[in-house]
Amino acid sequence: MTHTSSRLRPLATTVAVGLLATTAAGALAAPASAAPDQTVAGFSTVAMAIPDEGPSTPGSTAITIPAGKGQVKDVDVTLNSLSHTYMRDLEVTLTHNGTAVKLLDASGDSVDTTAFRTYTLDDEAATVVPTSSSVVTPDGSYKPTDSSGPEPVATSLASFDGGAASGTWELSIVDQAGGDEGSLAGWSIDIDYNDPTAPSGSVVIDGGAALTDSSAVTLGLAASDPDAFTTGVASMRFSNDGTSWSAFQPYAATAAWTLGAGDGTKTVWVQYADGIGNVSEPASDTIVLDTKAPTAKKLSPKKNATGVKTTAKVQFKASEALLKSTVTKKTVKLTAGGKTVKAKVTYKASKRKVVLTPKKDLARGTIYKVKISKKVTDLAGNSIATKGWKFTTR
């Protein structure tokens, strides 16, 4: 293993798991990026007594790596304070998800000593475990070694590469011959891992609305990290231009966001990061921002007009399209002397024209007022700015 992170110290509990080299997702670049390998370290402080021939007591000890640790890239195992009066009796095996690798098999010295040794089994070590009948095999890093045949051969922890890092890793020891015994104080495991696939997702502004009258919007968010070694969708960030991004924040189904300044079509981009730091390609959605209030123009009769015919049309044209459901006899009224004149109110959307048709001719020499409620809005929800006007019949 080539990483340089320091090994975590064992905790007082029987099994402890620690994380190393976590990458901050906020430091990754747009539009998409892959995370570097991460490292997780696990520890067991359960002592294993090695008998004079037979399996240790307990027969195995385990370290559990928590979920969300992706795909194995490399594994190292360290045996802490191993003591045995005939090392070559031992068979030490690591098992995970049905795969078993011999770390030591008939390997090491045959010196009758109770010395404590600490060995790291590492595929990238320079040598296999040396054998000697007179010299205690020194502490150090060695390739996993099987010396049960005519010559010592390296076994390989790479058998675990490509599998899931999470789950239970089990170490077992068997003394294969009589006459000697020993113990192991504990062991630890270092796993380099990654997640081979970045998450993907989508964004919807204000529930898919085409228009909004406010730059403050709500983003609907959905993302997944579907590969077999998922580290899960962990965070997200946003942009109004696809270049300048917000800080990453924890992943959620919704988020408040402020659109860029000025009316017009607005685009919001989102990127998702998984638990290891892989960043997705950007996803986006658009909405039209319209903050300008509509007005009434081409007033008929004109504002403050006098001598208006009693059969005159009462109407106006909106400066932009109105929401038809807001134009009713309750929101657009004709009054005289403080009383509402019975009239039919219609909105001709194609011409943006509002027409009031009184049930009967207007009274002579009377001041009429057209009253427009702020409940009349454009398609984006902006209230009409024109409150109304008055005219006088002849």
The confidence score (pLDDT) of residue 31 equals 56
pLDDT band at 227 (very low <50, low <70, confident <90, very high): confident
pLDDT value, residue 7: 25
- DSSP per-residue codes, 161-200: TTSBSSEEEEEEEEE-SSS--EEEEEEEEEEEEE-SS--E
Contacts (Cβ under 8 Å, ≥6 apart) of 137: 87, 108, 109, 117, 119, 129, 130, 131
Cα 250 from Cα 278, distance rounded (Å): 14
| Residue 32 confidence (pLDDT) above 80 | no
Average pLDDT over residues 376-382: 96
pLDDT for 202-216, tens place per residue? 999 999 999 999 999
Q: 278-301, pLDDT tens digit by residue?
A: 999 999 999 999 999 999 999 999
Share of the chain above pLDDT 70, in %: 92
Residue 104 scores a pLDDT above 70 = yes
Q: What are 78-93's pLDDT values in tens digits?
A: 999 999 999 999 999 9
pLDDT tens digit sequence for 124-171 = 999 999 988 889 999 999 999 999 888 788 899 999 999 999 999 999
Q: What is the mean pLDDT of residues 376-394?
A: 97
- Cβ–Cβ under 8 Å, residues 203 and 268: yes
Tell me the chain's radius of gyration from C-alpha atoms.
Answer: 39
CA distance 291 to 118: 71
Q: What is the pLDDT of residue 8?
A: 28
The rounded distance, in Å, linking the Cα atoms of 249 and 237 is: 6
CB atoms within 10 A of CB 324: 12
Kindly state the average pLDDT of the residues 188-194. 96
What is the pLDDT at residue 377?
A: 97
Instruction: Supply the DSSP string of 232-243, one letter for each residue.
Output: -EEEEEEESSSS
pLDDT surpassing 50 at residue 106:
yes
Instruction: Select from 338, 297, 346, 336 the least CA-distant residue to 319.
Output: 297
Q: Whole-angstrom Cα distance, residue 104 to residue 184?
A: 13
- pLDDT tens for residues 37-67? 999 999 999 999 999 999 999 999 999 999 8
Contact assessment for residue 389 and residue 372, using Cβ atoms and an 8 Å cutoff = no
The fraction of the chain above a pLDDT of 90, given in percent, is 82
Q: Is the pLDDT of residue 5 over 90?
A: no
In tens, the pLDDT along 256-265 reads: 999 999 999 9
Q: What's the token pair of residue 83? A: 């003591």
- Is the model's pLDDT at 328 over the cut of 90? yes
Cα 57 from chain centre: 44
Phi-psi map region of 157: left, alpha, beta (phi>0 left; psi -120 to 50 alpha) = alpha
Average pLDDT, whole number, for the chain? 90
pLDDT band per the 50, 70, 90 thresholds, residue 1:
low
Nearest Cα residue to 144 out of 98, 99, 105: 105
What pLDDT is stored for residue 260 in this prediction?
Answer: 95
Sheet strands side by side (includes 305-308): 305-308, 388-393, 367-372, 332-336, 339-340
Which residue is associated with the tokens 């045949």? 149
Residue 99, pLDDT score? 96
Q: Return the pLDDT at 30.
A: 59
* Closest C-alpha to 175, from 86, 114, 82, 94: 86
pLDDT band at 35 (very low <50, low <70, confident <90, very high): confident
Query: What domains, with CATH codes, occur in the chain?
Result: 15-194 (2.60.120.260), 200-289 (2.60.40.10), 296-393 (2.60.40.1220)
Residue 230 has a pLDDT of: 79
